[in-house]
Amino acid sequence: MTLIPRDPFDALVPLREAMNRLIEDSLVGPTRFEAFTGRTFLVDLYETEDRQQYVLEAALPGFKLEDLHITAMDDTITIHVARKAAEKDDKTSYVRRERFEGKMTRSFTLPTTIEPDKIEALYEHGVLRLGIPKAEQVKPKPITVRA
């Protein structure tokens, strides 16, 4: 009987795979992973140059206007979207199915209080754009200096 020497580095392969998974999970966290799988939507949130308002742009391709529900209170904006399952017959046999069906909700807490009554919303070409004005008490006010 001949013994085949075992490669000592073979024992490190499971450890290397575990380390790869750990690194991948930390770099591609749940929110990033959800963005790639269609379980969430991507947004850009920025402040205008004059510092009077925030602008939130959300990519929501394929949603109808009646699918969007937006609420605002104090310093928080919540966007809720829902897409109903398409009618399908029993004869349909999918090879691949990737389009999202269901509900998604994201909330954003802004650094300052906002004026919910003055928010302007526009949905065009699959992009929701919200103009979110800051509350009067938090807007920068010019101060005149006398000599």
* pTM given for the model: 0.65
DSSP H stretches of helix in the chain: 13-27, 30-37
Residue 12, pLDDT score = 58
Is pLDDT above 90 for 120?
yes
Q: Is 79 helix (H, G, I), strand (E, B) or coil?
A: strand
Task: Report the chain's mean pLDDT, rounded to a whole number.
Answer: 81
User: Cα 117 to chain center, whole Å?
Assistant: 24
What lies within 8 Å, CB to CB, of 43 at 6+ separation is: 56, 57, 58, 59, 106, 108
Condensed to tens digits (0 to 9), the pLDDT of residues 50-105 reads 989 999 999 998 889 999 999 999 899 999 999 877 677 777 777 887 777 788 89
Single out the residue of 67, 57, 77, 47 nearest to residue 138, CA to CA: 47
Above pLDDT 70, what percent of the chain?
73
Measured CA to CA, the distance from residue 76 to residue 90 in angstroms comes to: 43
**Fold exhibited by the domain 41-86+100-140:** Immunoglobulin-like (2.60.40)
**Token pair listed for 28:** 């591609």
Instruction: State residue 59 phi and psi, 5-degree precision.
Output: -85, 110
**Token pair listed for 73:** 């209170």
Query: What are the extents of the domains in the chain?
Result: 11-40, 41-86+100-140
Q: Which of residues 55 and 10 earns the better pLDDT score? A: 55
Query: Where is mean pLDDT largest: 19-23, 48-52, 136-140?
Result: 48-52
Residue 73, pLDDT score = 92
Residue 78, pLDDT score = 95
